[in-house]
Amino acid sequence: MRNAIAACVLAGLSFGAAAETATLVKQGGAEGPTLEIGLGRMQAESREYVYRDDGSTLSRLDWKASNVPILKAGVTYSPNSTLTLGLRGWTAITGGDNSMHDFDWMVPGQSQWSHRSYSPDTRLHSAYEIDLSATAWLLQRPTWKLGVVAGYQQNFFNWTAYGGDFSYWNGARTGSFPAGQPGISYRQTFRLPYVGVAGRYREQDWEFNALFKFSPWVAIDDHDTHHLRTLDFTESSRNSRYYGVNLDAGYYLTPNAKLYAEVSWNKFMQGRGPTLERNASTGAVNYYGGDAAGMDNKNYAVTIGVKYRF
Which residue numbers are catalytic? 102, 104, 224, 226
- Kind plus residue range of the DSSP H or E element containing 9: helix 2-11
CA distances from 88 to 65, 78, 154 (A): 22, 15, 11
∠ at Cα 225 (221, 231), nearest 5°? Answer: 115
Helix H, strand E, coil C: the string for 243-310 is: EEEEEEEEEECCCCEEEEEEEEEEEEEEEEEEEEEEECCCCCEEEEEEEEEEEEEEEEEEEEEEEEEC
Contacts of residue 147, defined as CB under 8 A and 6 or more positions apart, other chains included, come to 14, 16, 82, 135, 136, 137, 138, 139, 197, 198, 199
Q: How many CB atoms lie within 10 A of CB 207?
A: 22
End-to-end Cα separation, the chain, in angstroms: 42
What is d(CA 87, CA 76) in angstroms, rounded to the nearest whole number? Answer: 6
Reported as half-sphere exposure (CB side, CA atoms, 13 A), residue 262 has a value of 32
